Chain A
Amino acid sequence: MRGLFLSLALCAASFAHAEGFAGLGDEARGFAEPQPGHRLVFPRDHGAHPQFRIEWWYLTANLKDESGKSYGAQWTLFRHARAPQDGEGWDSPQAFVAHAAVTTDTLHLFAETRARGGVGQAGVEAAPFRAFIDNWSFSATESNLSGASIAAVAPRFRYTLALAADEPLALHGEAGFSRKSESGQASYYYSQPFFRVDGALAIDAAERKVTGRAWMDHEWSSRPLAADQKGWDWFSLHLDGGAALMLFRLRSDKTLPFVSGSFISADGAARALARDDIFLEPLEQSLVSGRLLPIRWRVRVASLRLDIEAKPLNSQSFMGTGLGYFEGPIAVFGSHRGEGYLEMTGY
């Protein structure tokens, strides 16, 4: 779900700031639309889908160094197409924006880079999976994206992480067809929530070894938001005991939020949660980069008997890129314990 702001990020990064989150609800001229019943095929669907308007590959990691200090790391590649086709050379209508960030309890560093498709500065290949832009890359050897390596370099930080997972990919919604509104907006959406991480992370040239867990998302669509939807709150959680949970709510200025989620058990079996099963409730607002954001949440899933509170590692985990958004590591406690990432847009 995260990354829905991609067109924004692109728009923001280089195109219009004015388009706003609602821009994602724009008509998708000539672009393909996700269809229910469509079967995702791997590794083919790890690659880019140029006939869709927007797409993203998103990795967030909850890490610890040898002294037990917590870190968050983010790596995101967005694709945005001006026309539903691929192309060679500068005529390619594909453009890319990438964000990388590193978070500690006191620091949040981020970087952004941009590229045009078609010339070799950025691109995504399916088999073997490889996504790259400048000297940032994400590649994997296995069909479930195991045997992966991810790297980003920015002026004040850099990381190289090795990722491994035994579990299969988790398809959200109806076999990967993920609805986003009552009026039919949807995307194709799958995750690899079970990455074990081993790597190195440097902040201001001080490098440390890190280990932990990471969550990878791949999502694509052409028109994922309804016109009245202005932003969303999204959670990815690694629960102690090995299960994983993904929840989001899309906020509308006309109707109740559109809520959705998946529970992925420790063996990798994914199950979509019913809408009336999920309760997301902001507990505390805080001023972040000049906006009021709900940084503490109560999360309940009735069918799982789950009632937890989510708290960010760093309440200032704000991506001050073109159009800003919150993306930061969280810890959860209550009926269950765990860690994960929280993304909030459109505030």
Chain B
Amino acid sequence: MRQFLYALATLASHWRRRPGQFAALFVGLAIATALWSGVAALNDQARRSYDHAAGALGLGASPSLVAASGGFFVQDMFIALRRAGWKVSPILEGTIRLGDKSYRLVGVEPLTLPKISSAKMPTGEALNDFLGPPGRALAAPQTLRALGLAMGATPRIGDADRLPPLAIAEDLSPGMIVVDIGVAQRLLHRPARLSRLLIAEEPAPDAPALAAVIGEALRRVEADEAPELAKLTDSFHLNLTAFGLLAYVVGLFIAHASFGLAFEQRLPIIRTLRAIGASLRALTFALIAELTLLALLAGVAGMIGGYLIAAALLPDMAASLEGLYGAELDGALGLAPSWWISGIGMALIGAVIAAASGLVKTLRLPVLAIAQPFAWREAQRHWLYRQAALAALALLGAAAALLLGEGLEAGFVSMAGLLLGAALALPLPLAAMLRLGERRARGPLTKWFFADALQQLPGLSLALMALLLALSTNIGVGSMVEGFRRTFAQWLDQRLVAEIYFEAASETDAHRIETWLARREDVAAILPLCKAKTTRRASAIETAWPVEIVGAPPHETFSAHFPLLETRADAWGSVARGDAALVSEQLARRLRLELGSHLNIPTPTGDWRVEIVGLYPDYGAAKGQLRVDRDALVSRWPDARKLDYMLRAKAESAPDVMLALQSEFGAGVARIIDQAALKQRSMTIFERTFAVTAALDALTLVVSAIALFASLTTLAAARTPQLAPLWAAGVSRRSLSLLEFVRVTLFAAATALVSVPLGLALAYDLVAIVNVRAFGWRLPFHVFPSQWLEVFALALLTAALAALLPIRRLARIAPASLLAVFANER
């Protein structure tokens, strides 16, 4: 034990003497953990939110009836439907304010709830309590915490009312409070009013039709695709995870570089310790203890960093998930114990990976061996061969994944293989370049310059590999995002041709508005759209994927402007005839449809066979879409939603039309937006989607700069013995530092050069494989040479910044230190 403690103290003293090295190691591990755990926290948060969304009593999992004109309806309709044999359950939803925050109050009737929901309600005595009086207000534990209230509390709502005693329900979404329907009617001041009827069981075939019972007052809304959310967003999260892993690997490069150096420099200490009698066992334990301690320290710091990163990125991610998929995320980051455990675990694993080779080398050290790497040229040759073999293996793996794999995961594996292979292979061209330089060099100093650079290559290669990864990711992701931005903006311009888009509150409103608009001279065209959905149950198209069908009238707005990827001659004419459809790219890929294929669309009036006459891009859409003629759609879906409109008007009169519409119809217009605002909103969603990617991308670059800095700093200290003879031979410290600077810049420049083709390959992989597999659309592949210049400059700047401090130190090194090289045996 004593031996172990002494060994540990001796080993640890190294860090006291070299705080810079310790910092690099610590930062490397911490950064690796931070980026990884940050991404993990974001993913966890999103998954939890989906679970909550699905678990919010499962109210969204049942189809329901809502007022056709929106808003509330009388409770008598519930009774009438029940008495007619419709198994419906009443819901009243509204908002209440508790303190300074709003909460969603949901009134339910537990006896008639659909099974999926009633299974989540309290049972036994707790159900009696829920029914009251006074009843209970069910809320998630987070909600109670946010309110600062304990179970049983009865917070005040406004002046007169109070919530029933609060009770905890684990399944509820934060911000949701569930009470009995009667309590909800009282608290929301809506006596005998309801907002929704859940359909607990599909009505029997011989049950009276909805309209026969309650007229046109209610319309059916299909169940949410909430359970699909996790599936739809999977690719998004896989993207994030891939980035997290990349950052983790880059962080490990730093840690590995620092560890390697620390072990190298501590060889004399270890030799001495062994020589004075420290057992190998004690040393092993000491080294492992040191490693664990370091990993734990760095791990905790990394977790804090990860939390901060996640907290900073959460709003963007929440916004883009909501924009893309309609998935709502909890605003506050919740940290599960599993997150902590896995984060610290990753730090430990990282530390072991980073330290493994150094550790093994140290422990195998013969006691009397001279602790200095000699014959480096031979050793380096072996090292290069090994790198080349590993690189070839990684590239082979990438190719195999690409050829054999199908899914998104395979796309990522191929990408990882490509990156790793290229990074491992990087020293090969660098070494070749240096050898060539060495052969061509004339003067002794130049010859030395190349030979010395070659010798430094193994020490720097990890840092350079990290730089390569960061640079090529930067180029790849940059090209993808920029290419997507251009395509998207162009597509929006073509797709959003109409000047005004609005949604009527009900079909009655829609008719009134249409008549009114037809009389206005400043409205050039009224284009009513019609939307239907294939039901999951009946869908012969695809069971697990929602498909939306949009009906549009034949009009020049579409035939002249609507962007298509592929089309048959007179596609719009065929669509107008009612037996043809345009299909979104995503859906076409999923169903393997092409021009001329036929598709049977299940409709309430039987299957509808259409020919595919065009493919169009539908960027950002989570659902598959078909576009057909409006009249043809209405004849097959009599109940289709007929509330959406596009208006053509002169751009300058659009604001007047919008104002007039709103003042004339008020709440009859549920939503209205002009072209500019709609484009703006779409672009915002786009930007936020890639904000997370861009942030991680930038962070990776920062990490690689740190890696380079750490490697250079540690190398600089080790290089004094190599530089001392040159100095003694008359090369000034200034010239020496200049040479050092040139060398680092040269390395960086060479790495940047390699990173361009690699980045392009990556971009192609992202655009043509990952994106298609993740989202179902393929983007045009753009190259942006200006970006390469940027990246080149960035590489040089990174290298220069990283080299600055070590070179300044070299320029100012005391001659005594250089002289000491000759005095010390080392």
Contacts and interface: CB of A to CB of B under 8 A. Distances in A.
Interface in B592-648: none
A121 interface: yes
A91 B183 CA distance: 9
A332 B75 CA distance: 49
Given A15-B127, A115-B82, A91 B112 contact: no
Contacts of A16: 123-125, 127
Contacts of B123: 14-17
B811 interface: no
Contacts of A113: 87
Interface residues of A, number: 27
B276 interface: no
A118 B783 CA distance: 71
Interface string A202-233: 00010000000000000000000000000000
A14 B82 contact: no
B677 interface: no
Interface residues of B, number: 31
Interface in B160-184: 180-183
Nearest to B75: A119
A234 to B, nearest CB: 26
A116 B78 CA distance: 12
Interface string A9-46: 00101111111000000000000000000000000000
B223 interface: no
A67 interface: no
A242 interface: no
A14 B84 contact: no
Contacts of A82: 128, 131
A17 B85 CA distance: 27
Contact of B124 (A13, A18, A134, A135): A18
A109 interface: no
Given A14-B110, A135-B84, A19 B131 contact: no
A135 B83 contact: yes
Contacts of B83: 120-121, 132, 134-135
A16 B123 CA distance: 5
Interface string B77-94: 011001111010000000
B182 A89 contact: yes
Contact of A11 (B118, B124, B131, B201): B124
A120 B192 CA distance: 12
B111 A114 contact: yes
B111 A95 contact: yes
B204 interface: yes
Nearest to A16: B124
Contacts of A114: 111-112
A90 B181 contact: yes
A13 B119 CA distance: 11
Contact of B79 (A11, A15, A17, A121): A121
B124 A19 contact: yes
B109 interface: yes
Interface string B95-110: 0000000000000011
A116 B180 CA distance: 11
Nearest to B128: A82
Contacts of B78: 121
A115 B111 contact: yes
Nearest to B79: A120
B133 interface: yes
Contacts of A121: 78-79, 82-83, 112
Interface in B466-524: none
B534 interface: no
B185 interface: yes
Contacts of A241: none
B127 A14 contact: yes
A18 B181 CA distance: 26
Contacts of A93: 131
Contacts of B87: 113, 134
Contacts of A155: 201, 204
B118 A153 contact: no
A183 B368 CA distance: 97
Nearest to B131: A82
Contacts of B127: 14-16
Contacts of B181: 90
Contacts of A119: 75, 79
A135 B182 contact: no
Interface in A105-123: 113-116, 119-121
B182 A15 contact: no
Contacts of B110: 14
A14 to B, nearest CB: 5
Contact of B180 (A17, A90, A153): A90
Contact of B128 (A15, A135, A153, A205): A15
B82 A116 contact: no
Given A114-B112, A153-B204, A90 B79 contact: no
A14 B123 CA distance: 7
Nearest to A122: B82
B641 to A, nearest CB: 29
A120 B85 CA distance: 14
A14 B118 contact: yes
A82 B135 CA distance: 12
A17 B182 CA distance: 25
B398 to A, nearest CB: 55
Contacts of B118: 14
Contacts of A90: 109, 180-183, 185
Nearest to A116: B111
Contacts of A89: 182, 192
B251 to A, nearest CB: 53
B194 to A, nearest CB: 11
B111 A134 contact: no
A94 to B, nearest CB: 11
A82 B183 CA distance: 16
A91 B133 contact: yes
B182 A14 contact: no
Contacts of A134: 82-83, 85, 87
A165 B231 CA distance: 62
Contacts of A115: 82, 111-112
Nearest to A136: B85
Nearest to A90: B182
A205 B111 CA distance: 28
Contact of A14 (B85, B111, B125): B111
A132 B85 CA distance: 12
Q: Which of B125, B131, B181, B206 has most A Cβ within 10 Å? A: B131
Nearest to A96: B111
Contacts of A95: 111, 131
A81 to B, nearest CB: 11
B85 A153 contact: yes
A17 B111 CA distance: 14
Nearest to A155: B204
Interface in B110-158: 110-112, 118, 123-125, 127-128, 131-133
A125 to B, nearest CB: 15
Nearest to A115: B111
Nearest to B202: A155
Contacts of A18: 124
A11 B192 CA distance: 27
Nearest to A154: B204
A136 to B, nearest CB: 9
Given A15-B123, A95-B131, A121-B78, 16 more contacts: A13-B111, A14-B110, A14-B111, A18-B124, A82-B128, A82-B131, A89-B192, A90-B182, A91-B132, A91-B133, A113-B87, A116-B131, A119-B75, A121-B112, A134-B83, A135-B84
Task: In the A-B complex, list the 6 residue pairs whose CB atoms are closest, starting with the nearest.
Answer: A90-B182, A16-B124, A135-B85, A114-B111, A120-B79, A134-B82
20 contacts: A14-B110, A14-B111, A14-B123, A15-B124, A15-B128, A16-B123, A16-B125, A17-B123, A82-B128, A82-B131, A91-B182, A95-B131, A113-B87, A114-B111, A114-B112, A115-B111, A116-B111, A134-B87, A155-B201, A155-B204
